[in-house]
Amino acid sequence: MKIIPDFLFSFRLTPRRTFIGFLIVSFISLLSTKCGISQEDILKFYNDIRRVVGNALPSENEIIKEIDRQLNEKINRNPELLDYKIRGEVDSAIREYEREENKSTKINMKNENILKEINKSKYDRMQKLILENAVYYEFEDGTMGIRGAWVAPDPREIDLEQ
């Protein structure tokens, strides 16, 4: 049984950072040994909290900044934790982008039958999004269809906005 955990030696304990580093190592050691939580799980949890809290951490508090810096450095030096961090940040950015995109969504599809059909559970979110952004058109000769909103309208299309 190891008395001193491996990660104790991975922190740089300079005179300025010794106390903060000691607190971090002590806290992680306590959680690892007493609660049976692995160091990686603790750092993953910290990374998740850091991503959610983001810029809400007080930036003028030197102790908090130093704790954050040391824990973040520990995460960045471990390939598995770094991969977890990057995947989490990318997934979070994608979710944020989708949230913002949904706020400004304008449904181009005007055909109520198509909109009613696409809202059935057999269609996934991407299929619904594609059809909601599509444009329904008709020609004088009875031809009708759907085109992407980015495709230029055919001159024979009837103006359905009337």
Biggest alpha carbon–alpha carbon distance for the chain: 85
The confidence score (pLDDT) of residue 88 equals: 92
Q: Give the phi and the psi of residue 137 in degrees, each rounded to 5.
A: -135, 160
C-alpha distances in Å from residue 20, one per residue of 12, 51, 53, 67, 160: 10, 22, 21, 7, 68
The confidence score (pLDDT) of residue 81 equals: 92
Report the alpha-carbon distance of residue 65 to residue 16 in Å, rounded.
13
Evaluate if residue 14 carries a pLDDT over 70.
no
Higher pLDDT, 115 or 54: 115
**Strongest mean pLDDT among 19-28, 63-72, 76-85:** 76-85
Q: Where are the beta strands (DSSP E) in the chain?
A: 135-138, 144-147
Tens of pLDDT, residues 73-109: 888 999 999 999 999 999 999 999 888 877 777 777 7
The confidence score (pLDDT) of residue 74 equals: 87
Confidence of residue 36 (pLDDT cuts 50, 70, 90): confident
Evaluate if residue 1 carries a pLDDT over 50.
no
